[in-house]
Amino acid sequence: MKICGVRRVRELLASCEAIAAYTGDNYLPLMWRFYRSYRSTLFRLARTVRLNSTTQDTSVLNALDLVLAKEDRTSDLLPLSVDLSLA
């Protein structure tokens, strides 16, 4: 019974965090539950489609390469060496 209560508290906390993030125009926490089941399909698509940059800036392609290289990881954190200038 106690474990079930802990799970419910964690679910409630996750819901509260998602709503709090939404108030700051950050929709990403709300999207994950809808796209989680398509994760492998999105990775397959990213590996199949050939993407090219229309400018000299390749930061998005570099970020995609990093994501594809880390496909099997389940961590929520990125390495410190990740260039986030594209954001």
- pLDDT (0 to 100) of residue 6: 80
Query: pTM higher than 0.85, yes or no?
Result: no
Q: What is the DSSP letter of 72?
A: T
Largest CA distance in the chain: 58
Write down the domain spans for the chain: 2-69
Rounded Cα distance, 64 and 46, in Å: 8
Cα distances from 12 to residues 15, 29, 31, 52, in angstroms, run 5, 14, 17, 42
pLDDT per residue, tens digit, the chain (87 aa), is: 455 678 888 888 888 877 776 676 766 767 777 888 888 999 999 999 999 989 998 888 988 898 898 888 877 777 777 777 776
Cα 14 from chain centroid?
15
